[in-house]
Structure 1
Amino acid sequence: MTAVKIVKILGVSTESWEAAAQEAVAEATETIDDIHGVEVESWTAEVEGGQITEYKATVEVAFLIHRGR
């Protein structure tokens, strides 16, 4: 039987929502093995003076649970 764990990560970028999502995945790979998929849960942004200054992507990361490690 395979078990999968899902964690929620917030990625941030000054460039774009796509870059924010990629940042979340890149950070996740630093501490999580066997990532099998991601789902972008939401896109948000910080606004100053009528301009977006910071893009944010909330991403759910799915990975296998390895027992006995």
Structure 2
Amino acid sequence: MTAVKIIKVLGTSTESWEDAAHEAVAQAQESIHDIHGIEVEDWTANVEDGQITEYKTTVEVAFPVIHEES
């Protein structure tokens, strides 16, 4: 049986929520190996003068717990 760790990561984009999710995964991949999946938890945005200026996507990133051998 494999234990799985889940962390929350916030991605941002000026283009879309989907791009923000891609950014969250790309950033997480820099320090986490073997990401198995994500779940989008929340979509938010910054608004200025009635226009969305920054999309934000909070994702839960799942990856296996790896025990290093002694």
TM-score, scaled to structure 1: 0.97
Q: CA deviation at 1:21?
A: 0.4
Residue 63 of structure 1 aligns with an amino acid whose one-letter code is F
How many angstroms apart in 2 are the aligned matches of 1:6 and 1:47? 30
Provide structure 1 residue ranges, at least 5 long, that are not aligned to the other structure: none
Residue 45 of structure 1 aligns with an amino acid whose one-letter code is A
Provide structure 2 residue ranges, at least 5 long, that are not aligned to the other structure: none
Q: CA deviation at 1:42?
A: 0.6
Q: Does 1:41 align with 2:41?
A: yes
Alignment RMSD (CA, Å): 0.8
Alignment size in residue pairs: 69
Q: Does 1:6 align with 2:26?
A: no
Q: Does 1:21 align with 2:27?
A: no
How many angstroms apart in 1 are the aligned matches of 2:13 and 2:34? 25
Q: CA deviation at 1:35?
A: 0.3
Q: CA deviation at 1:62?
A: 0.1
Q: CA deviation at 1:68?
A: 1.5
Share of identical aligned residues, percent?
Answer: 71
Q: CA deviation at 1:30?
A: 0.4
How many angstroms apart in 1 are the aligned matches of 2:68 and 2:31? 18
How many angstroms apart in 2 are the aligned matches of 1:19 and 1:38? 14
Aligned to 1:63: 63
TM-score, scaled to structure 2: 0.95
